[in-house]
Amino acid sequence: MRMSQFFLPVLKDTPAEAQIVSHRLMLRAGMIRQSSAGIYSWLPLGFRVLKRIEQIVREEQDAAGAQELLMPTIQPADLWRESGRYDDYGLEMLRITDRHERDMLFGPTNEELITDIFRGSVRSYKQLPLNLYHIQWKFRDEVRPRFGIMRGREFLMKDNYSFDLDPEAARHSYNRMFVAYLRTYERLGLKAIPMQADTGPIGGDMSHEFIILADTGESEVYCHADYLDFAAPEAGVDYGSDLSPVIEHWTSRYAATDEKHDAAQFEADVPEDRRIATRGIEVGHIFYLGTKYSKAMGATVMGADGAEVPVEMGCYGIGVSRLVGAIIEASHDDDGIIWPASVAPFQVGLINLKVGDEACDKAVADIYEKLRRAGVDVLLDDSDGRAGGKFATMDLIGLPWQLIVGPRGLKSGVVEVKQRATGERQELSIEAAITTLTDN
213 phi-psi bin (left φ>0, alpha ψ -120 to 50, beta other) = beta
Cβ proximity to ligand 5CA, 110 vs 352, nearer residue: 110
The number of CA neighbours under 13 Å toward the Cβ of 210 is: 28
Q: How far is the CB of 259 from ligand 5CA (least distance, A)?
A: 13
Nearest Cα neighbor of 280 from 203, 194, 198 is 194
Q: Write out the residues near ligand 5CA by the rule CB under 6 A.
A: 109, 140, 142, 151-152, 155, 157, 159, 202, 282-285, 315-317, 319, 321-322
Q: How far is the CB of 155 from ligand 5CA (least distance, A)?
A: 4
Angle, CA of 78, 67 and 311, to the nearest 5°: 50
Nearest Cα neighbor of 397 from 28, 22, 68 is 28
CA–CA distances in Å: residue 131 to residues 112, 169, 397, 422: 15, 12, 37, 41
Q: How far is the CB of 209 from ligand 5CA (least distance, A)?
A: 6
Q: How far is the CB of 138 from ligand 5CA (least distance, A)?
A: 7
Cβ proximity to ligand 5CA, 139 vs 401, nearer residue: 139
Tell me what percent of the chain is helix, strand and coil, each rounded to the nearest 5.
40, 30, 30
Q: How far is the CB of 288 from ligand 5CA (least distance, A)?
A: 12
Angle, CA of 420, 421 and 423, to the nearest 5°: 60
Query: At 388, which amino acid appears?
Result: G
Cβ proximity to ligand 5CA, 141 vs 382, nearer residue: 141
Nearest Cα neighbor of 437 from 377, 394, 355, 360 is 377
Cβ proximity to ligand 5CA, 54 vs 159, nearer residue: 159
- Is residue 202 helix, strand or coil? helix
* Contact in structure between 415 and 403 (CB atoms under 8 Å): yes
Q: How far is the CB of 207 from ligand 5CA (least distance, A)?
A: 8
Q: How far is the CB of 126 from ligand 5CA (least distance, A)?
A: 26
The sign of the dihedral angle between the CA atoms of 58, 63, 68, 73 is negative
Cβ proximity to ligand 5CA, 53 vs 122, nearer residue: 53
Q: How far apart are CA 397 and CA 399, in angstroms?
A: 6
Cβ proximity to ligand 5CA, 6 vs 47, nearer residue: 47
**How far does Cα 251 stand from its chain's mean position?**
22
Q: How far is the CB of 44 from ligand 5CA (least distance, A)?
A: 21
Cβ proximity to ligand 5CA, 60 vs 282, nearer residue: 282
Cβ proximity to ligand 5CA, 125 vs 147, nearer residue: 147
